[in-house]
Amino acid sequence: MNNSNPTATFSGPYYLSIAGKLVSTEAGFDVFNPATGSVLAQAPAATADQLDEAIAAARKAFKHWSRLEHAERKAYLIAYADALQEHRDELARLLTLEQGKPLRTMAEPEVDQSISWIRQIADRPIPVEIIEETDSHIVELHHTPLGVVGAITPWNFPVLLALWKVAPALITGNTMVVKPSPFTPLTSLRFGQIAQSVLPPGVLSVVSGGNELGPQMTAHPDIAKISFTGSTETGKHVIRSAAGTLKRLTMELGGNDAAIVLPDADWESIIPQLYWGAIGNSGQWCVGVKRLYVHRAFQQQFVKAFVDYAVRQKMGDGLDPEVTVGPVQNKMQFEKVKTFLDDIKAKGYKIALGGDIDASRPGYFIPVTVIDNPPEESMIVQEEQFGPIVPIIAYDDVDDVIERANDSPFGLGGSVWGRDTKAAVAVANRLETGMVWVNEIHTQGVDIPFGGHKQSGLGTEHGLEGRQLFTNPKTVLIHK
Ligand code: NAD
């Protein structure tokens, strides 16, 4: 099926993909459209036995897949990217329907970036490294695949965050079982279904169901590694459970990223970047701007300009081409974000924009909310809101703001903004984060390592470092 039509749609039914086959289940569960709050589709709820079958098929497939040459695996991955490309419009639309993000500005770019990612990763073998060589001996470092990798993914970027795992796992010779979030399983089930037409059976399976599938994967003796993206709290459960079988782990967890606008910043020109950095995807980014520190000299003008920019955006159903801000993805998150609004009101912090939810509106819409200079100890500054609320905090002293930015259990990303690039880089170098952007934000690439410091994660995705984490470093010592 070639979906060149932007209104192309797939309306199910949805199947698990296991051992190259599309598999139905006895039980199903409802998936909601967050823009309407109504049921979008039924997703299959895998049983524990079905998950076991997927893992067994992946284990079986590993024997053959791991022994292929890089060029052979590359050809498979390119064929997979081509197949996804044929379904690009359909996948993007489905992503908007199940996740809520605007089709044109968020869902289509997410699908496009995912497909491009697979193509680029396919071109990046991990070379054998010669550690030392003498007349009589040679020492080589190889990177061999681990076995079956389990991918556990969240609901904010369900296509990209899953395929960020699939591409490097497969190209390095592993096989994979993906378990999507129960809130957004449909796009993953679809890309799993598409994979079965191009990849050998068992190389990539997708199994949806309740949260109980996660612990089954993390404890499973036949899974060698878990690549997890989700909250820090769940991440701690994953680590505990994986200890029993000493699994390899890559953990991409929560964050509370600070953006620091320095006294010399050309602050008016960066409002759009900071706005989208905070409010894009309705604030549901792991690396979203969650604390915006602006020098006191212009903080009030900044708040006004930020609000002026915000009111020009349209919130609504992501299928509407004029909409640039969608709903929060699910009811649970909607309730969680509401607790931040309740706290803000109870404490009497100054609301520069938004704050009031329209209870009569269907769907999970939280208005874009700007909080003018809440205290450092407030919930909205200290905790991860993961919704469209941004605190704009005044600071006086650069050393002090660096300390405040670092005073967090999280350390995912951050950004620093200033005219004097050297001075901004000096500030960036003092932030305790896995990533930091200077005068730009959210740039990513297959060769750019991405990971969290402190309680924001373990290990890295992307870059050679990220790909190597899907492998076992194996030293080969040869007497000539
Ligand atoms: P979550 O932790 O609730 O769920 C993530 C996944 O874990 C889901 O697939 C869920 O079904 C599964 N799961 C739940 N309980 C489990 C268990 N006991 N064992 C194994 N798996 C289990 O996270 P979420 O609400 O889906 O996502 C939002 C969070 O993800 C935010 O904190 C955000 O910052 C974080 N996130 C981080 C990154 C990153 O790259 N660092 C990217 C996106 C999101």
State in Å: Cα 4 to ligand 1 middle: 33
Longest distance between any two alpha carbons in the chain, whole Å: 80
User: What average pLDDT does the structure give for the chain?
Assistant: 97
The residues near 189 (Cβ < 8 Å, ≥ 6 apart) are 14, 15, 16, 17, 43, 44, 180, 206, 208
Q: What SS3 state is found at 458?
A: strand
Strand partners, 178: 151, 206
The residues near 468 (Cβ < 8 Å, ≥ 6 apart) are 126, 143
pLDDT at position 5 over 60:
no
Strands 258-261 and 414-417: parallel
Q: How many CB atoms lie within 10 A of CB 10?
A: 19
Asked if residue 199 lies in contact with residue 175, where contact means CB atoms within 8 angstroms, the answer is: no
How far, in whole angstroms, is CA 141 from its chain's centroid? Answer: 31
pLDDT at position 9 over 80:
no
For ligand 1, atom 42, the nearest C-alpha belongs to: 286
Strand partners, 417: 261
pLDDT at position 310 over 90:
yes
Asked if residue 175 lies in contact with residue 251, where contact means CB atoms within 8 angstroms, the answer is: no
| Pair of tokens at residue 48 | 């524990």
Q: Which of 29, 157, 225, 231 to mutate to test the pocket of ligand 1 (most atoms within 8 A of CB)?
A: 231
Q: What element of type H or E holds 299?
A: helix 299-310
* Mean pLDDT, range 50-77, rounded to an integer: 98
Q: What is the pLDDT of residue 10?
A: 81
pLDDT at position 145 over 60:
yes
Could you tell me where the beta strands, DSSP code E, fall in 134-218?
Answer: 137-145, 148-152, 175-179, 204-206
Q: What element of type H or E holds 193?
A: helix 186-195
State in Å: Cα 220 to ligand 1 middle: 19
State in Å: Cα 233 to ligand 1 middle: 8
Asked if residue 309 lies in contact with residue 278, where contact means CB atoms within 8 angstroms, the answer is: no
State in Å: Cα 208 to ligand 1 middle: 14
Q: Which atom of ligand 1 is nearest to the CA of 252?
A: 41
243 versus 9: the higher-pLDDT residue is 243
328-348 pLDDT per residue, tens: 999 999 999 999 999 999 999
The residues near 181 (Cβ < 8 Å, ≥ 6 apart) are 153, 154, 155, 158, 230
State in Å: Cα 232 to ligand 1 middle: 8
Q: Which atom of ligand 1 is nearest to the CA of 412?
A: 41
Q: Which atom of ligand 1 is nearest to the CA of 286?
A: 34
| Angle, vertex CA 34, rays to CA 382 and CA 214, nearest 5 | 70
Strands 129-133 and 137-145: antiparallel
175-202 pLDDT per residue, tens: 999 999 999 999 999 999 999 999 999 9
Percent of the chain with pLDDT over 70: 98
Helices 70-86 and 186-195 cross at an angle (nearest 10°) of: 130
pLDDT at position 1 over 50:
no
Q: Which of 223, 281, 286 to mutate to test the pocket of ligand 1 (most atoms within 8 A of CB)?
A: 286
Q: Which of 110, 157, 181, 281 to mutate to test the pocket of ligand 1 (most atoms within 8 A of CB)?
A: 181
What's the CA gap between 340 and 113, in Å, rounded? 32
State in Å: Cα 169 to ligand 1 middle: 19
Using a 6 Å CB cutoff, which residues line ligand 1? 152-156, 161, 179, 181-182, 211, 214-215, 218, 229-231, 234, 237-238, 252-255, 286, 384, 386, 412, 452, 457
- Burial class of 104 by CB neighbour count within 10 A (0 to 12, 13 to 18, 19+): middle
* Mean pLDDT, range 80-107, rounded to an integer: 98
206-223 pLDDT per residue, tens: 999 998 999 999 999 999
Strand partners, 389: 369
DSSP string, 98-133: HH---IIIIIHHHHHHHHHHHHHHHT---PPEEEEE
7 pLDDT tier (thresholds 50, 70, 90): low
| Pair of tokens at residue 463 | 């870059």
432-458 pLDDT per residue, tens: 999 999 999 999 999 999 999 999 999
- In order of 89, 112, 117, 188, 317, the CA distances from 104 in angstroms are 11, 11, 19, 20, 12
For ligand 1, atom 15, the nearest C-alpha belongs to: 211
Q: What is the pLDDT of residue 6?
A: 46
* Mean pLDDT, range 401-422, rounded to an integer: 98
State in Å: Cα 239 to ligand 1 middle: 13
Q: What is the pLDDT of residue 12?
A: 84
Q: What is the pLDDT of residue 11?
A: 82
353-374 pLDDT per residue, tens: 999 999 999 999 999 999 999 9
For ligand 1, atom 21, the nearest C-alpha belongs to: 214
2 pLDDT tier (thresholds 50, 70, 90): very low
Domains of the chain: 16-253+456-479 (3.40.605.10), 258-445 (3.40.309.10)
Q: How many CB atoms lie within 10 A of CB 388?
A: 27
Q: Which atom of ligand 1 is nearest to the CA of 183?
A: 26
* Mean pLDDT, range 425-437, rounded to an integer: 98
- Kindly list the catalytic residues: 252
Q: Which atom of ligand 1 is nearest to the CA of 217?
A: 20
Q: What element of type H or E holds 394?
A: strand 389-395
Asked if residue 413 lies in contact with residue 287, where contact means CB atoms within 8 angstroms, the answer is: yes
- Residue (of 398, 408, 456, 469) closest to 429 by Cα position: 398
Residue type for position 386: F
